[in-house]
Structure 1
């Protein structure tokens, strides 16, 4: 991961835009960048520099309807974030009064609204998570200084509704746009903070509906294949967890799920069996020597085990087993892998019972274990 460029979250973009809009409104300064506070959790966790601040460029700003609007271009760095390059707007108004300073925050066009319980935002509220909400208010207060009165800040994302279709928001009951996320304020390449947050939200919604089973899938295809296998699965139980094996299992455990399923392909199963917390290719490599040992234990002939040790991909290993007609060895291997992966699930979610649906790369069922 060395050399990859970090970016900033939608929460940081919104906070910077809010501060810039208020500076323009109150001081007449259209600043090229703002020194922006990051969430307190960023400093506590050590995920960024100790002072927990970031200088964020401002794309443009102008006065509007008695207030001021500022725009930040979301920069996700080298992380594949659907909001990268999106405009994040803040429209700010200020009403002086002889009262303690109050910042009122809401979402406008392109910022989703919660319609289901269990989310960080209450039903009817803008989908601005608590960390970014606090971050935006802190940035606004810095611009306001010692003034008293009411500042009203509205966050908008003009392309938010279109972008939200590429996220899990529709399933989470967040309608009309994206969520404003970011517990740390910065985006580490391939950390996928926004995706991890959406996994947490999806689990919260499912528990609020009284579900006790979470079925994690590695993407749309594995979700569709699971539904083909188990068509009676409630939609809210299905959570696209991607590579976040550890995060998904731990969060499900924290929220009290008693059953945890994984719908996945052979390669991801091997990585889970190896115990990786994140199964992304950049963070987890298959140990083919270990896989060869497991193949031999499952009854594969020595020449096939040797070929496995020299393989480059999990697809290649699966193809070797299938083309050699080693069906018994493959089934024994699959049961051993799901047992090891199940142990890794229980290590992260001790009270949950795991089950697996494993598919080959053409979508055929290789093994389905223990759902009922």
Structure 2
């Protein structure tokens, strides 16, 4: 029996721990190591400090992010907080240090020009600053500068550039805990992408399973980059968020295998969590007029793309039927929300092989 997957800590939790340690040192001259913090749901983890520094009027503490067993782009990143005294009555002022992004587009839960430090991590840091101030006789008026080593390079592998968060990573997390393979950061990015598109006034967005389908959708409809949602396997995340925050038109674009899974009712299209259903494809081939010999070959096809090729040879529009099935699934999830859906199915070369 395999060991359970290990949970990790969000960038927000690491930044909070670093901030609590740095402010303690600013007031007392000593860094608590490890430093214990309280997460939003009451857990009290302790974080070892990777670096610490005390200079004239500033204190810096650093924590290495441990994402547990989640394949997180920020796993192993060095997250630092530099704290200095602020003007009386200003409270906690947040500054983006090197490797932390700045918001440049409306639609995010932060104002344009603000450091990309999300609301829950800000609240956690404010609460811990207040606790440290109460314990050691501080005012709680501080400037907190968060930085992430190599954050700008890491951010290029995230949604941040598309969301208009420039210069580095976002400091994220609502619980402080990273659940392995929950892909919560990706799903949160999908939601923020819809928010940014709505704030920009776009009436048409495209949820794409990958870079090839994204290119096809952009070329077919002339969509700007920030109207393209890199949904990956998370079709359900796009549809459920649009149900509550509608955009007039949604195009779903993806490969024949993933969209055949959507046609079969699956909302998570990852190969480890849903499978192509040969019986569905054979049924569609039969409905399109395929004879028993063809439907038998489709039933035993190696892949959805192989099934598509078999039907194309017989002049049957399996791609269109997959697209129509995917559209029906999408509409059932949208539950009457004012979102018109069309679907584009492509092959690996980016050729359109089905539409609905």
> TM-score surpassing 0.5?
yes
3-state SS, counterpart of residue 145 of structure 1: helix
* 1:352 alignment partner in structure 2: 339
Match of 2:116 among 97, 114, 127: 127
Q: 1:276 aligns with which of 266, 271, 286?
A: 266
Q: Structure 1 residues 240, 152: CA separation in 2 closer, same or farther (over 3 Å shift)?
A: same
The TM-score with structure 1 as length reference comes to: 0.85
Q: Distance in 2 between matches of 1:304 and 1:20?
A: 68
1:114 and 2:114 are equivalent in the alignment: no
Counterpart-to-counterpart distance in 2, 1:86 and 1:209? 32
Cα distance per residue 1:278-297 (max 9 Å; x no partner): 22223223333344334333
Deviation of the 1:122 alpha carbon: 0.3
C-alpha contact (below 8 Å) 2:282/2:295 kept by paired residues: yes
Output the CA distance in 1 between the equivalents of 2:56 and 2:327: 63
Equivalent residues of 1:342, 1:355 under 8 A apart: no
**How much has 1:127 moved relative to structure 2?**
1.0
1:45-194 superposed matches below 5 A = 51-94=42-85, 102-146=91-135, 147-149=137-139, 150-194=141-185
Distance 1:296 1:57, change over 3 A: farther
Contact 2:248–2:338 (CA<8 Å) still a contact in 1? yes
Q: Distance in 1 between matches of 2:6 and 2:46?
A: 15
Q: What is the root-mean-square deviation of aligned Cα atoms in Å? A: 2.6
Aligned pairs for 1:155-304 within 5 A: 155-230=146-221, 232-304=222-294
Is 1:16–2:17 an aligned residue pair? Answer: yes
* Rounded Cα–Cα distance in structure 2 between residues aligned with 1:333 and 1:95: 63
Q: Look up the SS of the partner of 1:120 in the other structure.
A: coil
Match of 2:295 among 285, 296, 305: 305
Quick check: 1:357–1:368 contact (8 Å CA) kept in 2?
A: yes
Deviation string 1:78-103 (CA, Å, 9 cap, x unpaired) is: 32322222111111124697x7x933
Helix, strand or coil at the partner of 1:327 = coil
Specify every segment of 5 or more residues in structure 2 that has no aligned partner in the other structure, as ranges.
none
Q: Is the 8 A contact 2:7 2:70 kept in 1?
A: yes
CA 1:75–1:207: 2 relative to 1, 3 Å: same
Q: TM-score, normalised by structure 2?
A: 0.88
Hey, what does 1:368 align to over in structure 2? 355
Q: Deviations over 1:269-312 (max 9, x none)?
A: 12222323322223223333344334333333334434444456
| SS of residue in 1 equivalent to 2:348 | coil
Alignment partner of 1:139: what SS?
helix
Q: Distance in 2 between matches of 1:326 and 1:116?
A: 50
CA distance, structure 2, for counterparts of residue 332 and residue 240 of structure 1: 23
State the 1:256 CA deviation.
2.9
Structure 1 gap ranges (5+): 44-50
Q: CA deviation at 1:140?
A: 2.8
Give SS of 1:214's match: strand
The equivalent residue for 1:4 is 5
2-structure distance, mates of 1:312, 1:76: 36
Contact 1:321 1:330 in 2 (8 A): yes
Name the SS of the counterpart of 1:37 in structure 2. coil
